[in-house]
Amino acid sequence: MHHAPHHTRAGFALVIVPLFIAGALFVTWLAAPSVLPGTASHRAAVSTATTADLLDAQTARSATAAAKVVKIQEANTAAPPSPAREFIALESASALSDLPPPAAAALIAAEQRRAAVFAGERDEARRLYGLAATQSEKLAADLAAATAARQAADVALVEAAAREHRANIIAGVFVILAVFGIFAAVYVKSCFGGFPQAIGWGINEMKAKEPAAFAIAEPFLTRYMDRHEQTRIAYHSGL
């Protein structure tokens, strides 16, 4: 019974080690956060939500400002004609063209403040303007939070793109190693597998039946091959 020589074990190691490494890299690639199912859609949803929140916060603050400008414009009509009245009318109209439609709740609050001032109710006016200041602070805080969330989402997208880039590199390395493993397997098969065995058996038969032909063919079949092929051919032919 014949036993495979040391070169056979080395040849198999030449295939197994790259394939093992390639498999490990492939598992890493599959587990990369940037390519897990649902992760990309989750990032897109977060980005969309933070953008919507930012736009809502910007609009809420601008719409409140627009309501205040509308009431200034209305109050200005009660003033006697003057350059100041004309300027306020023109400037407020210009400001409203740069703002979204006024918020309904803000219009009501601004009208309450105007009525309190026009009626000479100073305490009530101070109370109402205190509420307006608190509302302004809240709107400013909401806008700051939405801006920070939008910035965080941008950072997350950049980091995700970097992870995906690394995952693509790993996938590329896996493909290269897999191709290398296939070629290595073919090489080992040709050097240590059935091809040398068939040549060895053919040499035995040629020696027995066609000695003259064997004398001519033997150098090409053995001496001019590399040492791994020579070893396997000799093993099966008895040379």
Note the pLDDT tens digit of each residue in 147-195.
999 888 888 888 877 877 887 888 778 778 777 777 776 666 655 555 6
Instruction: Give the residue extent of every domain in the chain.
Output: 6-192, 195-237
State the Cα–Cα distance between residues 128 and 108, nearest whole angstrom. 11
Q: Please give the pLDDT value at position 62.
A: 94
Instruction: Confirm whether pTM is higher than 0.95.
Output: no
141-145, long-range: CB within 8 Å, 24+ apart, which pairs?
142/57, 142/60, 142/61, 143/54, 143/57, 143/58, 143/61, 145/57
Q: How far is CA 142 from CA 69, 100, 147, 151, 210, in A?
A: 21, 18, 9, 14, 96
Q: Which two tokens stand for residue 88?
A: 């306020």
H helix intervals, 32-120:
39-76, 83-97, 104-118
Q: Which pLDDT score, from 0 to 100, does residue 21 have? A: 64
First CA to last CA across the chain, in angstroms? 17
Q: pLDDT tens digit string along 182-208? A: 777 666 665 555 566 666 667 777 777
Provide the pLDDT for residue 216: 72
| Tally of helices (H runs) and strands (E runs) in the chain | 8, 0
Residues of the chain with pLDDT under 50: 1-11, 33-38
pLDDT (0 to 100) of residue 108: 95
What integer pLDDT is reported at residue 82 of this predicted model?
94
Q: Residue 78 carries which DSSP code?
A: T
Is 226 exposed, middle or buried, given 0-12, 13-18 or 19+ CB atoms closer than 10 A? exposed
